[in-house]
Amino acid sequence: MEIRGPVLLPARREDVELYTLDGLTLVGELALPADRDPVATLVTLHPLPTAGGFMDSHILRKAAGRLPALADLAVLRLNTRGTTSPRGTSEGAFDGGRAEAFDVAAAMELVRERGLPRPWLVGWSFGTELALRYGRDYDIEGVILLSPPLHRATAEDVAAWRGDRRSVVVLVPEFDDYLRPAQARERFAAIDHAQLIAVDGGKHLWVGENQTRRVLTEIVAAVNPDALPLPMQWDGD
């Protein structure tokens, strides 16, 4: 079977609820390797909910569908406050990235409670703003930023990562709608150790199987490079 599109490879998948310090219940899913412990954890933060982003935005859904089996990763997805997906609706209302700080905290508390290893924040578009603004507050190995628009994250939010021991990996599509590689190099120059990866032919939404595979490969290259190259075929159940 070719690994593409919405295929779900074997994993232990569990619907979870997350509880914020301001009293909301958020909905999410935790996917773990089917028959072994994970070697690292992806905490995913979805694109802008007012523009259709949610925990099932396709790159995040495919990460949860493939990477527990292909790379031994745990993948936590959640709907931030006020966001709806087939999994359900998280309580509260969208707050432009301000009160969403509590949502990030709730996700990291679940990681702590479950003893999940080596957490990374993986943000996409709006999710990158949350990762940049709040990720430094937690015991993470790094952040992976997909299509960062740098709308809500300020120059000060970016510069705060200068000298931080944790990894900052930035994937910038060649034809992004908001921030293209040349601009991104200027905006992220304050982080002396940032790894900026310009993706030829890429667009903000990473549409198409080739772009999906490129994004998932770069995520695994940062988090568990021993799992590369990711197979394109699945021979199991």
pLDDT tens readout for residues 70-79 = 999 999 999 9
Strand 142-146, strand 119-124: pairing:
parallel
Q: Indicate the residue type of 71.
A: A
Say what the pLDDT of residue 72 is: 98
Say what the pLDDT of residue 219 is: 98
- Residue 21 counted as domain residue: yes
Distance separating alpha carbons of residues 187 and 71, to the nearest angstrom? 31
Distance separating alpha carbons of residues 30 and 15, to the nearest angstrom? 6
- Residue 67 counted as domain residue: yes
Beta bridge partners of 26: 18
Q: Are 79 and 89 in contact (CB under 8 A)?
A: yes
Mean pLDDT score of the chain? 97
Q: Is the pLDDT of residue 179 over 90?
A: yes
pTM of the model: 0.98
Say what the pLDDT of residue 224 is: 98
- Residue 168 counted as domain residue: yes
CATH code of the domain containing 183: 3.40.50.1820
Instruction: Give tens-digit pLDDT for 212-229.
Output: 999 999 999 999 999 999
Q: Are 143 and 165 in contact (CB under 8 A)?
A: no
* H-run or E-run covering 162: none
- Count of domains for the chain: 1
Q: Sorting pLDDT into bands at 50, 70 and 90, what band is 236?
A: confident
Q: Is the pLDDT of residue 237 over 80?
A: no
Helix, strand, or coil (residue 24): coil
Residues in the chain, overall count: 237
Angle (CA) 27-33-36 rounded to 5° is: 135
Say what the pLDDT of residue 160 is: 98
Determine the structural domain holding residue 25 and report its residue range.
12-224
55-to-26, 171, 186, 221 alpha-carbon distances in Å? 11, 19, 30, 22
**Mean pLDDT to the nearest integer, 191-219:** 97
Q: Is the pLDDT of residue 67 over 80?
A: yes
- Copy the structure tokens of residue 172: 């910038």
- Residue 229 counted as domain residue: no
Helix, strand, or coil (residue 110): helix
